[in-house]
Amino acid sequence: MSFLDLSGLRKSYGANAVVKSFDLTVEKGEFVSLLGPSGCGKTTVLRMVAGFETPSAGTVRIDGQEVTGLKPNQRNIGMVFQAYALFPNLTVAQNVAFGLKIKGMPAGETRDRVADMLRLIGLPEMGSRYPFQLSGGQQQRVALARALAPQPRVLLLDEPLSALDAKIRVSLRAELREIQQKLGITTIFVTHDQEEALSISDRVVVMNAGLAEQVGTPFQVYNQPRTRFVASFVGTLNTVEAQVLDAGAGRLAIHGAAVQMAVPPGTRGKVQLALRPEAVHLGYGVDGDVVLPATITAVEFMGSVIRVRAACADRIMALDTFNRPDTPPPVVGAAVSLSFKPRDLILLEG
Amino acid sequence: MRRFWSWSIVGLGVVYFFLPLVGMLEFSLKMRRGAYSLDAYASVLADARFRATFGYSAVMAALTIVLGVLIVVPTVFWVRLKLPKLRPVIEFITLLPLVIPPIVIVFGYIRLFNTSSWLPLTGSTLGSDILLMIGYSVLSLPYMYRAVDTGLAAIDVRTLTEAAQSLGAGWATVLARVILPNVLVAVLSGAFLTFAIVIGEYVFAALLDRPAFGPYLVWAGGNKAYEPAALAVMTFALTWACMALIQLATRFSRHTRMQPK
Ligand SMILES: Nc1ncnc2c1ncn2[C@@H]1O[C@H](COP(=O)(O)OP(=O)(O)O)[C@@H](O)[C@H]1O
Ligand SMILES: [Mg+2]
């Protein structure tokens, strides 16, 4: 039995189902991200776990206890919002103590816990400040401390970093992960930023239009996307079309070039294949590689990586090459060959 | 030349507005023959009826404010949180007291709550006082509602409420510990406006036959010479003091509201 268990969660507003049959199990201490484009239902799932929305169907179980019918203030869940939701009339210390006071914790114990929490978020001296005297990153850290202080069973984070500057966002997400691991708290993190989700999660749920399209480790969803949506939303993606010549023998053709790869038996006609930019190389590669002729259309020098776009038949392929001080990048308009290994091709379901 | 004209118009306005006040102030100081004095003020303050009626109205104002806050804050909060579609309707309702003359409202009250009705409030002193307080909170509703609504607009009601709930707070705690402290300034400005309205109100108090300050003002106006002017100056000063307090409260609290972008 997993620690947090969402089963068959549904939420409709009138005729509009924004979450359609959502299942997820989370182990104790696990950090799971819900990743998907804006409007796909991430926040709605989170709010059903927190109790702010009543599911149209389905159940939420925490630690074996069904909480679907419980009010938000009976669930013992910590939540951090995108908008810094600190109480503006209370100091940092009073904000962190808010949940403890409601629990009826004695004053002395509360003081110690608040001090511990402020130390945990690296703001031990800020207890007497007011929220308006803090930067956005500091406010969000205080919001995290406030949510964690009453020792909730589950921590829910709804795009907590989205309102912050890019630099702070990156440093704070690492800090967040560190704190989460230190406390071993079961966490669901909502984001539309794939890099964010991949970098700090144990597992990622890629959502699209109210459904979980794929659940897996960051490595799995990036390298083995099950659907075209997952492949394109998680990272940049090249898609190529292939003609199945003989499904049983695994013989396909991409723009006339023969490719050997396993496809489900009985597949016929055209299939969609995906290819990561880092799997495509300039030049002929080695024996067994698929080689396609192409024309360079754009070159982006990004420092250690150079991203090249090349027109290959009717499609544009993106590929990443590492910068080498002794080799200048290709020029736009040059005729080149692109090569990749058949095993890097990903067969997409839809 | 344009500046000259605009300043002239401003000047004209100031004269139009302040000249009667200055005249009244001057007159109120002339009770003693041949010299300016505060005799009229002393006479007013020495009048037992002044003290009784003013005290009565001040207490009524305080009770009205409490009732108004108890009605308006939870209502505005709930409408903003759960029934945003009802907002125009509620706003319209709160504007009605400005449109319906107080005399109509009070006659309605008397018809509904007279001694032969199902709830004979006008039959006892306490009943009439309660009716008067309710009437006053209706009169001050447009001001109280707007003040509190503006106050709540300045904070993210929904997120703060949910943050408090996820920390274990029930509705009462949310209202008392999160919402009220953050709209206190708005409530205060609504309270001062209510105070100013109740202190000068005449129609309700006269028709319900309560010993309030408004009817006393009218009575004094008809029976004395210099004292009414002094009273008018004093009520003006009181109203302005209320307005100054609103300004002060707003300024005092502004720093807790600012959120860095
Ligand atoms: N109270 C509501 N009434 C009607 N539609 C809503 C309501 N809340 C959310 N939605 C709709 O549900 C969809 C999913 O919203 P949300 O869960 O916030 O998406 P996300 O967090 O992934 O951006 C959106 O299309 C949104 O318009
Ligand atoms: Mg969202």
CB A238 within 8 A of CB A315: yes
Q: How confident is the model at residue A350 (pLDDT cuts 50, 70, 90)?
A: low
| Percent of chain A at pLDDT exceeding 70 | 99
Indicate whether B172 belongs to any domain: yes
Rounded Cα distance, A37 and B18, in Å = 63
Q: Write down the pTM of the prediction.
A: 0.80
Model confidence at A286, pLDDT cuts 50, 70, 90, reads confident
10 Å CB burial of residue B16 (0-12, 13-18, 19+) is exposed
What pLDDT score was predicted for residue B253?
A: 66
Residues A77 and B193 sit within 8 Å (Cβ to Cβ): no
Number of domains in chain B: 1
Distance A39 CA to ligand 1 centre (A): 6
Average pLDDT over residues A147-171: 91
Q: Which two tokens stand for residue A70?
A: 């419980």
Q: Is B140 inside any structural domain?
A: yes
Which ligand has the shortest distance to the CA of A11?
A: 1
Q: Which residue has the tokens 């929490």?
A: A117
CA separation for the pair A122, A126 (Å, rounded)? 9
pLDDT tens readout for residues A257-273: 888 888 888 778 888 88
- Nearest by Cα to B136 from B204, B36, B190, B49: B204
| pLDDT of residue B121 exceeding 90 | no
- H-helix or E-strand containing A80? strand A77-80
pLDDT at residue A201 in the model: 94
Note the ipTM here: 0.80
Please name which of B241, B200, B226 lies closest in space to residue B53, comparing C-alpha atoms: B200
Closest of A226, A196, A195, A193 to residue A211, by C-alpha: A226
Question: Do the domain assignments include residue B257?
Answer: no
In a domain, B226, yes or no: yes
pLDDT at residue B260, rounded to an integer: 38
Q: Please give, rounded to a whole number of angstroms, the shortest distance from the CA of B9 to a CA of chain A.
A: 43
Phi/psi at A200 (5° precision): -120, 0
User: Which run of H or of E encompasses A322?
Assistant: strand A315-322
B→A contacts (Cβ < 8 Å), by residue, are 155-156, 159-160, 162-170, 173, 177-178, 181-182, 255-260
Q: What is the pLDDT of residue B259?
A: 43
Q: Any idea what DSSP says for residue A250?
A: T
Looking at ligand 1, which residue's alpha carbon is closest to its atom 8? Answer: A44
Residue partners of B91: CB distance under 8 A and separation at least 6: B145
Token pair belonging to B58: 């001040």
* CA distances, B192 to each of B43, B131, B140, B195, B245 (Å): 27, 21, 10, 5, 8
Mean pLDDT of B219-242: 86
Q: Do A73 and B166 touch (CB under 8 A)?
A: yes
What is the SS3 assignment for A106?
Answer: coil
Hey, whose CA ends up nearest to atom 24 of ligand 1? A39
Which domain range does residue B124 map to?
Answer: 37-252
pLDDT tens-digit series, residues A72-124: 999 999 999 988 899 998 999 999 999 999 999 999 999 999 999 999 999 99
Q: Which residues contact A12 (CB under 8 A, 6 or more apart)?
A: A18, A56
Percent of chain B with pLDDT over 90: 37
Mean pLDDT of A145-151: 94
Helix (H) or strand (E) holding A240: strand A238-246
Instruction: Tell me the CATH number at B86.
Output: 1.10.3720.10
For residues B110-134, give the mean pLDDT: 86
Q: How many CB atoms lie within 10 A of CB A69?
A: 10
- On whether the CB atoms of residues B119 and B130 are closer than 8 A, the answer is no
Q: Inspect the interface and report whether the beta carbons of B182 and A72 lie closer than 8 Å.
A: no
pLDDT of residue A77: 93
In a domain, B56, yes or no: yes
Pairwise CA distance, residues B57 & B133, whole Å: 10
**B49 located within any domain:** yes
Residue B29 lies in a domain: no
Q: Give the residue with greater pLDDT, B246 vs A297.
A: A297
Whether residue B183 is contained in a domain is answered as yes
User: Which residue CA neighbors atom 9 of ligand 1 most closely?
Assistant: A44
The H-or-E segment that residue A255 falls in is none
